[in-house]
């Protein structure tokens, strides 16, 4: 799609101005969707989806969200559209939590159950404490379940806080995998570690952008329309940068999941001999 444009008449000629934010959004959407499709081809073609079914499901759901934004926005009434998009957002939170569990089980297979329970509880406590002080919390009256608007607010609240919780848990798990993974099932260049590094990078970028945006909204006091536009432009650039980090992670996963893990060839030869 071509970038939108408008015309303003000057003293002696017509001047043309392009909305580059719209063009950037379309480019980022296209790159993200294309990279997701390539990653899915790699996951299915190289038989990685069988080992990481929830990670694969997360990529599929993310691609479905992108398609829904393009195919449904402007073609559905606002309330049904919000119901569809927020339902997908809440599902992505659930799948995100399952991805964290999947990566943890792959990385630390064989760990004693008691150690599993202690570490899981520790991660949840730390993430919960950070989340408690992370960003504003809505008033209870805005989360009522007795109206359509109240239900949508509740779904949006669950998606926002759920995404933050998933990001915090992902960063914590990524640190554990990088530090201790080599002693278990997630050594360097293993698929599990490469997935964890990519997920953690995306999570750090998301939390950083979210924190900066919250700081801007809390401290900014615009006095004119021009200042409002400048703030909105800055926020848009931050989220675009966050999307670029996600694209980089998709490329990272494409490369590393296409390659075999160290020692995979030797294992294959041994199995053929047997």
Domains of the chain: 25-257 (1.20.1070)
Give tens-digit pLDDT for 182-229: 777 667 778 999 999 999 999 999 999 988 988 888 887 877 888 888
Contact 18, 5 (CB under 8 A): yes
* Tens-place pLDDT, residues 80-115: 888 899 999 999 999 999 999 999 988 887 777 777
Distance CA 209, CA 273 (A): 52
232: which 2 tokens? 């909105």
CA atoms of 252 and 174, how far apart (whole Å): 15
What are 107-151's pLDDT values in tens digits?
887 777 777 788 788 888 988 888 888 777 777 666 666 777 778
The CA distance from 178 to 46, in Å, is 24
CB 109 within 8 A of CB 177: no
3-state secondary structure 170-227: HHHHHHHHHHHHHHCCCCCCCHHHHHHHHHHHHHHHHHHHHHHHHHHHHHCCCCCHHH
Using CA atoms, how far apart are residues 93 and 162, in angstroms rounded to an integer?
A: 6
pLDDT, one tens digit per residue, over 12-59 is 433 333 344 567 788 898 999 999 999 999 999 999 999 999 999 999
């Amino acid at each position: 799609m071509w970038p939108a444009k408008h015309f303003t008449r000057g003293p002696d000629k017509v001047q043309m101005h392009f909305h580059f934010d719209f063009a950037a959004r379309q480019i980022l959407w296209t790159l993200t969707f294309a990279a997701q499709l390539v990653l899915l081809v790699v996951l299915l073609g190289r038989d990685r989806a069988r080992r990481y079914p929830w990670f694969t499901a997360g990529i599929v759901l993310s691609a479905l969200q992108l398609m829904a934004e393009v195919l449904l926005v402007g073609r559905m009434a606002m309330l049904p559209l919000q119901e569809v998009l927020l339902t997908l957002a809440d599902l992505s939170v659930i799948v995100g939590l399952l991805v964290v569990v999947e990566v943890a089980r792959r990385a630390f297979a064989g760990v004693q159950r008691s150690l599993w329970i202690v570490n899981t509880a520790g991660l949840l406590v730390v993430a919960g404490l950070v989340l408690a002080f992370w960003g504003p919390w809505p008033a209870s009256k805005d989360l009522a379940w007795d109206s359509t608007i109240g239900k949508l607010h509740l779904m949006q609240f669950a998606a926002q806080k759920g995404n933050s919780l998933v990001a915090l848990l992902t960063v914590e798990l990524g640190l554990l995998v990088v530090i201790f993974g080599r002693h278990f099932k997630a050594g360097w260049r293993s698929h599990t570690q490469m997935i964890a590094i990519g997920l953690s990078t995306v999570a750090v970028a998301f939390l950083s952008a979210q924190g900066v945006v919250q700081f801007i909204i809390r401290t900014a006091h615009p006095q004119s329309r021009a200042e409002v536009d400048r703030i909105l432009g800055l926020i848009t650039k931050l989220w675009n940068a966050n999307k670029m980090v996600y694209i980089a992670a998709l490329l990272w996963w494409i490369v590393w999941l296409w390659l075999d893990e160290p020692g995979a060839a030797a294992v294959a030869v041994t199995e053929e001999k047997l």
